Amino acid sequence: MNSKFLSLFPASFRDFYKNLILIVPPLVLFLFLFLFSNLSVIINSKLFSSLSLSIWLIASLTISLVAIAFIFAGLIGLSKQAIKSKANLKDFIFYSKKFWFKNLIVIIFLLILYNLVRNAAHYGALFLGKAIGLLLNPAILLFYFIYFVGLFGLIIFFTFSNFYLIVFNLTIKNSIKRSFLLVKKEYLFVLATILLFFLVNYLIDQFSLINELASDLISYLLIPFVSLIFTRFVLFFGK
């Protein structure tokens, strides 16, 4: 398994090099979110009542999530085709149209889980900090401890839900179940992969101190490579 795991990275890089169309979806998403966020700022400046601001907040969040679900469904589909043969624009359109709504549901599910973990860490650290009289810095450390326990003890098990959904055309329930079983079986390898991407993302964030726009572009260009690795992981280790 070690050699197979390590082969994920060079094999995914070769797939990426042979299918540069994979760059297109994250760039489109980057441009859309950039332009849409600027539009949102303009619209917010013209709204004065709390009701209208709340309605626009919900609408803008919904539009953003739909765009993310649509583009990521297509990207995962492109990754599947890139690994099997050759990806093209028709594949992106096909997978986006077929899976965007189910993918949206999975994304919402993951966001709910994430917020539950984050709130549990926040209020858990706050409650325990007050109960045992912790100072600020130890309380912050407690927050991060609970937070990372939640990430790597719960949310990590659903890492591949979107990939199972699209790669194997499963139901939402079965996609979540299969992801859980795969991570349970290959926990250390999944954890190692995610920690590696955390490290890479941290290094990119340091670059943002020099040029934020360039840092964002690098992050978005990394997305297809991550998609290829996770898709390949599911195809070869998760059947």
Tens digit of each residue's pLDDT (9 = 90 or more) over 54-66: 898 999 999 999 9
219 or 86: whose pLDDT is higher?
86
The CA-CA-CA angle for residues 103, 147, 198, to 5°, reads 65
The whole-number pLDDT of residue 52 equals: 87
Q: Range with the lowest mean pLDDT among 16-20, 140-144, 196-200, 215-219?
A: 215-219
| pLDDT, the chain, mean | 89
The token duo for 219 is 């992050």
Q: pLDDT tens-digit profile of 111-164?
A: 999 999 999 988 888 887 777 777 777 778 888 899 999 999 999 999 999 999
Specify the residue for token string 């992969």. 193
Residue 210, by phi and psi: left (phi above 0), alpha (psi -120 to 50) or beta? alpha
* Residue range(s) defining the domain that contains residue 204: 2-237
The whole-number pLDDT of residue 139 equals: 79
Q: pLDDT tens-digit profile of 163-183?
A: 999 999 999 999 999 999 999
The most confident of 8-17, 43-52, 102-111, 124-133, by mean pLDDT:
102-111
Q: pLDDT tens-digit profile of 183-196?
A: 999 999 999 989 98
Overall number of domains in the chain: 1
pTM of the model: 0.89
Give the integer Cα–Cα distance in Å for 89 and 19.
11
Give the integer Cα–Cα distance in Å for 168 and 198.
27
Residue 211 in this model has a pLDDT that exceeds 70: no
Pair 79, 229: CB distance under 8 Å:
no
The whole-number pLDDT of residue 92 equals: 95
